[in-house]
Structure 1
Amino acid sequence: MKNENGSGSVYKLSGKRRKCWVARVTVGFVDGKQKRKIIGTYETRKEAQTELLGYLNNPTLYSGKTFKDVKDLWYQGYCKSVTKITLINTNNQLKKLEVFNDVKIKDLKLYTLQKFFDSLNSAYGSKLVLKSTLNLIFEFALKNEFIETNRVKFIDLGKNEKVVERKIFTADEIKILFDNLGSNNRYIKKMTYATLILIYTGLRISEFMNLKTKDIDLERNVLSIVESKTSAGVRKIPISEKVIHLFRDNIDYSKEYFLFNKQGGHYNYANFFQQFKTMLNLLNVEEHTIHDTRHTFATLLNNANANSTSIIKLIGHTDFKTTEEIYTHKDIEELRKAVNLLN
């Protein structure tokens, strides 16, 4: 049956072809002659007719825009509405999605997307962040009628099983941190000295963010951890010679906390976490958790043959109960010898 004039046409190609049916439309005239556009080729006449009808109802859907085309259109507006740090993190996610760049976005089926996420060797949280970024692009595509449905919403990430692989910072990675202490990038500059302090003190991130300037004794080079997570009470940590200058160069006695935000107040963990991740990425350092710094501290002490009692005291585990009164001058000096074994 012939279609009405102006409604496109469906015809069959000659020869043996799996997709022998063609759907095409007229998109204009050049010198009085029709300029046609082929929508696609199909296995059956019915399929071709259905696609033709779909195109006539929504030409934008059949514009042939690839995932990259739509992503770039979305990005133009998105990059103007977020902070620099958020944009850096988003760009990291977009790199992972480049595998879809040349695929027409309307042809990205749920099966393909699900298979991609199933193949990722990433933690649940990392997959969730990537899915959220992909969802923003597909929501934009849906709003602008490049797709008919947002299939990203149906992607199953599986169970949120918390599996944390602890990885210590290598000697090369620690060197990279030291080499970038003078960086012009304020995120790198702040996060490198903060990360090095965590590595060479073994502080928990909560202890570090709650560390007050009054609890840093730069005459005796000792930290007093008075808000420890454990029931061990006050914990004394001698400051390693490797990082004492980081305390001296960055302490501001007019502030309550050693690590402070732009307003001079308590640092937010979410901001620290994001900037820590960004710093590692910008320096091309392997992905780490913040808690890896504590494991690095313990491993470095162990590798330097520090005695086990000193390691337990410095880490502040609950199986070694102590109070401030137990720390004699001799105890502190023994701990100082341990931390100064670190390379």
Structure 2
Amino acid sequence: MMLPRGYGSITKRDKTYKRCYWARGASVYYIDEETGELKEKRKSLGFFSTRKEALHALEKYHRERNLLSRDDATFAEIYERWWQEKFPTVRESTVYTYEHAFDLCGALHKRLISELRLSDLQEIIDKSNKNYPTLKTMKILMIQVFNYAVKYDLVLKNYATYVDIGRYKNKNPNKMERDKFSHEQVKSLWNTVECKYDYISLMLLYTGVRISELLNLEKVNVHLYEQYFFVKESKTDNGIRKVPIHDKILPFFEEWYNSSPEDYKYLLYDKEFTKLTYIEYVRKYYKPLMTKLDITLTPHCCRHTCISMMSEKGVDPTYIKLIVGHSGAMSLTERVYIHIDIQDLVLAINKI
């Protein structure tokens, strides 16, 4: 069966190959910017065991390609298409990282990807005033988006691979701003919270727990009368600990605890009384709240902020390590000879 002109081709290789059918897109001709010569490029879609499989690959290629016009595809549209494929393969904690990087590339969103050049991408990096790890994530995102565009012949070259972030490697222009909320931002947060999903940010700020620790917290491990909860699942063994509940956020814990059915397992839940996931929390609640306050900080920054606030208020370093689960950093004397009651930790956290 002959394929339509411009559709691509299926070539059969020698039968000694297990996958002998080679599917390729149609030829694309372009002018090499360096040599000025006319060149041909064909997209290889892979090798397949049967002609039917190769034909399906060609059909998928054209189906995806036709979703976006080569002439009017924007950076944001390509990102959305790429993200639909990428999303199922990434960890929950990576989701916010990618979405935050995309937000930082806001000036590119409505630009036609076919018109973007290295200078446009480099300008986003140079004007971002972000630290090196964030710049690295932004560059990775740009590369991924352009790779997707190259894959479907929407652009011929991935300019993002040439973006220079090396000059910023030893510079953190806003390290403190990245790591923690300012006093003004914390105050704004208190003045803005309206529902129990907003409370979660303050619960993170005033306990120093990792977001995963709070999302996995079971009601059976919440002791409201004694004013603490027990973290039984953590990133590290040292993270298994008792965490005091600050007086200011005790009502938030009480509301969450008492507002779910008795047989529901977790402290936090979504509106259908199922476990609240990281992705759902960040997308539906955390990110909109931070956008309203014009704050570009991740949930993990709440943990840094809590540590900073305790340090500023003169909380004993040993207490800080116990509260946030850094007991591995404790000295031998601290680990062996010092035993601290949970009520002492409550008094310590109440200093902030």
Quick one: which of 301, 316, 331 aligns to 2:325? 316
* 1:210 equivalenced with 2:216 (yes/no): yes
- How far apart, CA to CA, are the structure 2 residues paired with 1:278 and 1:107? 30
Whether contact under 8 Å (2:142, 2:160) holds in the other structure is no
Query: What is aligned with 2:277?
Result: 268
Query: What is aligned with 2:194?
Result: 182
Quick one: which of 71, 76, 83 aligns to 2:74? 71
The amino acid of 1:175's aligned partner reads K
- How far apart, CA to CA, are the structure 1 residues paired with 2:325 and 2:311? 15
- How far apart, CA to CA, are the structure 1 residues paired with 2:118 and 2:77? 21
* 1:194 equivalenced with 2:162 (yes/no): no
Whether contact under 8 Å (2:270, 2:276) holds in the other structure is yes
- How far apart, CA to CA, are the structure 1 residues paired with 2:264 and 2:239? 24
What SS does the aligned partner of 1:242 have? Answer: helix
Query: What is aligned with 1:336?
Result: 346
The amino acid of 1:292's aligned partner reads C
Q: 1:222 to 1:151 in 2, by over 3 A?
A: closer
Q: 1:265 to 1:271 in 2, by over 3 A?
A: same
- How far apart, CA to CA, are the structure 2 residues paired with 1:234 and 1:132? 37
What SS does the aligned partner of 2:209 have? Answer: coil
- How far 1:175 sits from its partner (Å)? 2.1
The amino acid of 2:310's aligned partner reads L
- How far 1:314 sits from its partner (Å)? 1.5
- How far apart, CA to CA, are the structure 2 residues paired with 1:219 and 1:158? 51
Superposition pairs of residues 215-254 of structure 1, within 5 angstroms: 215-232=221-238, 234-251=240-257, 252=260, 253-254=262-263
- How far 1:338 sits from its partner (Å)? 1.4
- How far 1:256 sits from its partner (Å)? 1.4
- How far 1:295 sits from its partner (Å)? 1.9
Query: What is aligned with 2:52?
Result: none
Q: 1:119 to 1:237 in 2, by over 3 A?
A: closer
- How far 1:243 sits from its partner (Å)? 0.6
Q: How many residues align?
A: 260
Query: What is aligned with 2:309?
Result: 300
Query: What is aligned with 2:291?
Result: 282
- How far apart, CA to CA, are the structure 2 residues paired with 1:71 and 1:126? 17
What SS does the aligned partner of 2:233 have? Answer: coil
Q: 1:228 to 1:163 in 2, by over 3 A?
A: farther
Q: 1:242 to 1:130 in 2, by over 3 A?
A: farther
Whether contact under 8 Å (2:319, 2:345) holds in the other structure is yes
Whether contact under 8 Å (1:301, 1:339) holds in the other structure is yes
Which deviations, in whole Å up to 9, do the C-alpha atoms of 1:246-305 show, x marking residues without a partner? 111222243212223466444433444555762354124332233321221122122222
What SS does the aligned partner of 2:180 have? Answer: coil
- How far 1:334 sits from its partner (Å)? 1.8
- How far apart, CA to CA, are the structure 1 residues paired with 2:307 and 2:113? 49
What's the C-alpha RMSD, in Å, of the aligned pairs? Answer: 4.7
- How far 1:216 sits from its partner (Å)? 0.8
Higher helix share: 2
Query: What is aligned with 1:8?
Result: none
Query: What is aligned with 2:54?
Result: none
The amino acid of 2:345's aligned partner reads L
Query: What is aligned with 1:96?
Result: 107
Q: 1:266 to 1:161 in 2, by over 3 A?
A: farther
- How far apart, CA to CA, are the structure 2 residues paired with 1:233 and 1:121? 33
Q: 1:92 to 1:291 in 2, by over 3 A?
A: closer
Q: 1:116 to 1:339 in 2, by over 3 A?
A: closer
